[in-house]
Amino acid sequence: MRTDPDVFLMGEDVSGGAGCDGEDDAFGGAFGQYKGLVKEFGRERIIDTPITESAFIGAAGGAAATGMRPIVDLMFVDFIGVCFDQIFNQMAKFRYMFGGKSRCPAVIRFSAGGGFSAAGQHSQAMYQVMTSFPGLKVVVPSNAYDAKGLLLSAIQDDDPVLFFEPKVLYQETAEVPDEMYTIPFGQANFVREGDDVTVVAFGQMVPKAAAAIDALAAEGISCDLIDPRTTSPLDEAAILESVRATGRLVVVDEAPPRCGLTADIAGLAADKAFSSLKGPIKQVCAPHSPTPFSPELEAAYIPNADKITAAIKATLA
């Protein structure tokens, strides 16, 4: 925002305090992501909206199509239902339907995923759904360092980018440099390197998979852990290269199984690396159900390190 006057932020309570008698910077986003921004950039560029997602997400598409670089915050991705059309029918397709003559450099930020006992309408991942739409780029960082580099790439990108922030990871810390740096889209990160099994994990599953893999080292099992970082574009080459080397694949995501990323990556490997496979591909994901409220139920719902460990061992059995 300091270097590009076309960048602005819009959403519900991204500042907070609009029209109120108290403090102006009263909130700063549902997880404090934007705290302090209104002090530096003012309400001209840090825009609180009414609860009216179709209008402000759609307006981001319109502002982007006319030269701005809006960042809009949808708070919880679950709210995408009320503004879905503006995302997948409008901004995703402008460029293609207009014969390549328009650009829509909008970034939509969402908190996503489970882990807060927030029940069925505040816990969904949804990035797997959005990955299915051509025209949208989809980013799912798994740590603060990547989040910064990917977010700066997203803001500079000329296509619409959906930026999913696994909300349980807000409380994790990482070393993050002050200077500007970008992480390119479509470039997976090898979080661990090993010989026996390829593990591909997304978002909040990445640290869980790393924990499982680290514990397995004691048993002499070593794994590649691939964090694709962006699900669209997807670094297919990195995944296939690893699968060809290990011959075994486990894919981990927190979303339910049908038409999801675990099936997507399993399909990729079955299609393009079949002859390298030495065992069945294993998918670790949530069951085909909404996210339950009760902590015991949610703990059983979201994949954990034990389930990942069992899947890794199953590919070796």
Partner 1 sequence: MSISKESLLHAYRTMKTIREFEERVHAEIMNGQIPGFTHLYTGQEANAVGVCAHLDESDTIISTHRGHGHCIAKGADVSGMMKELFGSSEGLCKGKGGSMHVADIDKGILGANGIVAGGPPISVGSALAAKIRKNGKVAVSFSGDGSVNQGTCFEAMNMAVVLQVPAVFVIENNYYSEHTHIDYAVGCNDLKARTEAFGFPVFVADGADFFAVHEAAGKAIAHARAGNGPAGVFAEQGRYHGHFVGDPQAYRGEGELENLRENHDPLKVFRQHMATSGELSEGELDAIDAEVMAEIEQSVVDAKAAARPTPEQVTADVYIQYGATA
Ligand X SMILES: Cc1ncc(C[n+]2csc(CCOP(=O)(O)OP(=O)(O)O)c2C)c(N)n1
Whole-number CA gyration radius for the chain? 20
Residue 106 Cβ vs partner 1, minimum distance, rounded to whole Å = 20
Catalytic choice (69, 95, 122, 229) = 122
Amino acid at position 201, single letter: A
73 binds ligand X (CB under 6 A): no
Each residue 67-86 as x (binds partner 1 by CB under 8 A) or -, in order, gives: -----------xx-xx----
User: What would the x/- binding string for partner 1 be over residues 279 to 298, using CB under 8 A?
Assistant: --------xxxx-xxxxxx-
- Contacts (Cβ under 8 Å, ≥6 apart) of 30: 13, 75, 76, 111
Q: What string marks each residue from 95 to 134 as x (binds partner 1 by CB under 8 A) or -?
A: ---------------------xxxxxxx------------
18 binds partner 1 (CB under 8 A): yes
- Does residue 48 touch ligand X according to CB under 6 A? no
Q: Does 254 help bind partner 1 (rule: CB under 8 A)? A: no
In this chain, which of 7, 38, 63, 75 binds ligand X, going by CB under 6 A? 75
Q: Is 133 helix (H, G, I), strand (E, B) or coil?
A: coil
- As beta bridge partners, residue 166 has 112
Helix locations, 15-169, DSSP H: 37-45, 53-65, 84, 94-97, 127-130, 144-156
In the bound complex, what is the minimum distance in angstroms from residue 201's beta carbon to partner 1? 21
Close Cβ partners of 10 (under 8 Å, ≥ 6 residues apart): 47, 49, 56, 59, 60, 70, 71, 72, 73
- Secondary structure, 3-state, 87-130: HHHHHCCHHHHCCCCCCCCCEEEEEECCCCCCCCCCCCCCHHHH
> Is residue 26 a contact point for partner 1 (CB under 8 A)?
yes
- Structure token pair of residue 122: 């505040």
Longest dimension (CA), the chain: 67
Closest to partner 1 by CB, 61 vs 141, is 61
Residues 8-27 interacting with ligand X (rule: CB under 6 A): 12
User: Binding partner 1 by CB under 8 A: which of 55, 176, 270, 310?
Assistant: 55
Beta bridge partners of 9: 46, 71
Q: By beta-carbon distance, which residue lies closest to ligand X?
A: 79
According to CB under 6 A, which one of 51, 176, 217, 259 is a site residue for ligand X?
A: 51
Size of the site for partner 1 (CB under 8 A): 43
The identity of residue 83, as a single letter, is C
Q: Quick check: 44 binds partner 1 (CB under 8 A)?
A: no
Decide if residue 258 touches partner 1 (CB under 8 A). no
Q: Is 288 a catalytic residue?
A: no
Here the tokens at position 303 are: 């994949």
Instruction: Starting at the earlier edge strand, list the strands of the sheet with 230-232.
Output: 46-48, 7-11, 69-76, 107-112, 161-166, 137-139, 230-232
Decide: is 89 part of the binding site for partner 1 (CB under 8 A): no
Cβ 167 to ligand X shortest distance, Å: 14
Check binding of 79 to ligand X (CB under 6 A).
yes
- Is 71 buried (19+), middle (13-18) or exposed (0-12) by CB count in 10 A? buried
82 binds ligand X (CB under 6 A): yes
Cβ closest to ligand X, residue 72 vs residue 308: 72
Residues binding ligand X (CB under 6 A): 12, 51, 53, 75, 79, 82
Active-site amino acid positions: 122
Q: Which residues bind partner 1 (CB under 8 A)?
A: 12-13, 16-23, 25-27, 48, 50-55, 78-79, 81-82, 116-122, 287-290, 292-297, 300-301
